[in-house]
Amino acid sequence: MTQQGSHGQLDHAERAEAFNRDAGRVDWHDETLWFVRAKRDRAAKLLPEWEALREAASTIKHNVLDNLHDYLLEFEKQAQANGVTVHWAENATEHNAIVYKIISDAGVTNMVKSKSMLTEECHLNDFLLAKGIDVIDTDLGERIVQLAGEPPSHIVLPCIHWKKEEIGELFAKHLGTTPGASDPGYLTASARAHLRQHFMTSRVALTGVNFGVAETGEFVVCTNEGNADLGVQLADVHIACMGIEKIIPKREHLGVFLRLLARSATGQPVTTYSSHFRRPRKGQQVHIVLVDNGRTTRLASPDFRNALKCIRCGACMNTCPVYRRSGGHSYHYAVAGPIGAILAPGLDAKAFGDLPFASTLCGSCTYVCPVKIDIHDQLYKWRQVIVKEGYVTASKTAAMNTMATVLSTPSLFRNAGGVGRWLMRLLPGLVNNRFNPWYRQREMPKPPTTTFQNWYKENRRKA
Ligand code: SF4
């Protein structure tokens, strides 16, 4: 396992193949996410100013990236003035060590956590578990995948790949619910009772951060379940982990992002809870950990810096035909889908070199992105970087070189069609065999009787 989150050696295509063995699940996963995408479309259409909001969000984020250093220092100063302890972590190792030190200083061995993709990126749960700290994820979807021993498969809908019957079996095993029960109301009530015990007894609560406001030093956490608020209100110590790109300049900018975030994520007008944390209440400690983990390297890269504008709404996943039919785990990184496929290679181009190829480049991700990230352009650019660095397989390189020679040599190109048709007719096994991954999922059509060039010459003459 790499530090950045590769969960093994299988690439996206191989993992997608495993997901595709259950055809029923693939169809249902695809349809469910498309349903969420359609809700997003309806919510966006209800706002005549939708495109203006996207433009405003994009402009604000560009300004943040251009002045990140200053906004971070302003945020630190204001947060400290509010009585918050600010920590800086250069990478995942430092982040995990800081969080562990705060927990150790509090003298506890358990903690509740609300959803934070940054802690997934840093593999915090595994790290703390090895140190004897019990971490309970309190977002329902996160708790389900945690009980199953899996990472989330989607940044907003972490267990979207699970059916309610399977969740019933999981809860019967771990929470003692009635075997065979799959009623969502019953299962949710059981999870609530189970989580409540942990909320009541945890003196440390960790949350992610959706937005840090430089002007005031406050930060905002958006949830639909209120689990972040409950954990923080009952704990003596609040740890908030924030990627440095989550800064926005002023409180007045929050309205732009809050209106875009929930509509893009689930089609809701706003998340159920948008909680503002500014200063510790009496007797409470608040720590904020500002994490780089490769972000400043990306900031210095003109082609890829815009990926830092991401507000983690998940809309690009819901719309992506490849994500919907390959599942989040096929991306083997904390953040799946199109945005994961442009973030992960920035951390390790070799380990995640397969991800930019997991796309049709249809551009739907770019179309729905509320902060106007040029996602499909970046996917295309990453492919070029990965090929240049030599991180694609030898067979793919050889095939591409052959193709380049054929396409750039008119005489070869003219004859290639004829030779190809001849081969497919006389030796179909040469093309249609188990070593050809394209053929494994498809039926090869019969070779055409003529090449397009010949057909064109003939028909053009007739016309
Ligand atoms: S890249 Fe855009 S659409 Fe995808 S999660 Fe980030 S903000 Fe949302």
Nearest to 370 by CA among 283, 310, 320: 310
Supply the mean pLDDT for the chain: 93
pTM check: above 0.85:
yes
| Closest CA to ligand 1's atom 3 | 369
**Which of the listed residues 308, 312, 317, 324 should we mutate to test ligand 1's pocket, taking the one with most ligand atoms within 8 A of CB?**
312
Rounded CA separation 165/143 (Å): 16
- Report whether residue 310 contacts ligand 1, using a CB cutoff of 6 Å: yes
Mean per-residue pLDDT for 19-36?
96
* Under 8 Å between Cβ of 392 and 326: no
| Closest CA to ligand 1's atom 7 | 310
Give me 314's structure tokens. 């998940």
- Report whether residue 191 contacts ligand 1, using a CB cutoff of 6 Å: no
Residue whose entry in the numeric block shows the structure tokens 């430092």 = 94
Residue whose entry in the numeric block shows the structure tokens 């052959």 = 402
Residue 301: CB atoms within 10 A of its CB come to: 14
pLDDT of residue 74 exceeding 50: yes
Phi-psi region of 307 (alpha: psi -120 to 50; beta: other; left: phi over 0): alpha
Mean per-residue pLDDT for 13-36?
95
pLDDT of residue 3 exceeding 70: no
Centroid of ligand 1 to alpha carbon of 319 (angstroms): 11
140-159 pLDDT per residue, tens: 999 999 999 999 999 999 99
Selection from 176-190, 392-406, 431-445 with the highest mean pLDDT: 176-190
DSSP annotation string for 211-234: EEETTT--EEEEESS-HHHHHHHH
312-339 pLDDT per residue, tens: 999 999 999 999 999 999 999 999 999 9
| Closest CA to ligand 1's atom 2 | 369
pLDDT of residue 5 exceeding 50: no
Rounded CA separation 328/307 (Å): 19
Residue 103's contacts (CB-CB under 8 Å, 6 or more residues apart) are 111, 128, 133, 204, 237, 239
H-type alpha helices, 202-314: 227-234, 254-265, 295-299
- Report whether residue 312 contacts ligand 1, using a CB cutoff of 6 Å: yes
Mean per-residue pLDDT for 438-461?
81
Q: Which residues pair with 273 in a beta bridge?
A: 223
Centroid of ligand 1 to alpha carbon of 156 (angstroms): 11
